[in-house]
A = this chain, B = another copy of it.
Amino acid sequence: MARRHLPSLNALRAFEAFGRHGRMTLAADELCVTHGAVSRQIRQLEEHLGVPLTEGPRSRLRMTEAGLKLAQALSPAFDQIEAAVPRPAEVGPRPLVVSCLPTFAMKWLIPRLPGFQAAHPDIPVRVAESNGPFDFKADGIDLAIRMRTPETVVTYDSVVTPFMEHFHGPVMSPERAAAEPMTLERVCAMPRLLTRTFMESWSDWARNFELDHLPPPVSEQEFDHYFYMLEAAAAGMGVAIGPWAFVQRDLASGRLVAPLGFTPGRARIVAVTPPDGATEAAVLFRDWLLAEGASTPLPPEAACEPRAGR
């Protein structure tokens, strides 16, 4: 009687993956199936629920608000399931465990990991996605990647190594930006999107314009993850402060635009290792992060376009 009318769990999982990646093709890659399979699952889900979950042209698909809401709720549920399932005993050497923001993992780290694997085929890497506090020993983490502002409260001893510049800027859907020449004032007058992961993004960004106090937003909406915030921006729900590293690809594909360009943020993307000596593998990984960070392209308009100096 109770729990019976649920749609196919596989369809939900497919939709959740689509929600995170924003494109069926990428979701299909994650699930190791073809894009057609994902398309069918999502269509089946929409039929079952009688609610459209996606909208827009095929080449620039977005989630509807209902879809965004569903995906946001599904993600933590599947995370919980994943965490609960005991992993089949790992074979081989103990892997290097890297704790990392989910969105950073998806948009930056995982695409580059094959490079590390190629250089160090004997070091298996496991990426543990998490954006909260962590404990090296209790969680078995060798190295963590986090965003840090100078004010970030640190409650633990650790070695912090910044490895990448952090540029960010307001991003939105092309429709929103197309209306008229985009100015700082217009951007400030739009509904703002926030992520719990990095609540200070707006004030951090505003500093570059010597705006001590941003005008109060017409409305604010908060998301649990960067990727949902960015999806909401793509869906035209408002403006988000997007880190360059996270939105690079969406800018290239035209799903998002950044009419004011990017400016350096005060946050740094840092690698954190335990105070009492990192493992050998963690040191190698950190060195690799530094190299990768240095070779990541900067935004073309970096440091340009701020209306007030530096």
In residues 273-308 of chain A, which contact B (Cβ within 8 Å)? Answer: none
| A73 & B78 in contact (Cβ 8 Å cutoff) | no
In residues 61-120 of chain A, which contact B (Cβ within 8 Å)? Answer: 66, 69-70, 73-74, 76-78, 80-89, 105-106, 110, 113
Given the known A-B contacts A30-B1, A50-B88, A110-B1, are A73 and B80 also in contact in the complex, defined by CB atoms under 8 Å?
yes
B-chain residues with CB within 8 Å of residue A77 when the two chains form the complex = 77-78, 80-81, 84
CB distance from A123 to the nearest CB of B (A): 15
User: How far, in angstroms, from A89 to B51 measured CA to CA in the complex?
Assistant: 10
B-chain residues with CB within 8 Å of residue A58 when the two chains form the complex = none
User: How far, in angstroms, from A127 to B5 measured CA to CA in the complex?
Assistant: 13
Given the known A-B contacts A2-B105, A127-B2, are A73 and B82 also in contact in the complex, defined by CB atoms under 8 Å?
no
| B73 & A86 in contact (Cβ 8 Å cutoff) | no
| B3 & A78 in contact (Cβ 8 Å cutoff) | yes
Closest to A109 in B: B1
User: How far, in angstroms, from A66 to B14 measured CA to CA in the complex?
Assistant: 28
**Could you give, for residues 35-58 of chain A, a 1 whenever the CB lies within 8 Å of some chain B CB and a 0 otherwise?**
000000000000011110000000
Closest to A70 in B: B84
Q: Which of B9, B32, B49, B81 contacts A4 (CB 8 A)?
A: B32
Write 16 A-B pairs (CB below 8 A) sorted by A numbering: A1-B30, A1-B127, A2-B129, A4-B30, A5-B88, A6-B82, A9-B13, A9-B81, A12-B81, A12-B85, A73-B84, A74-B84, A76-B80, A77-B77, A77-B78, A77-B84
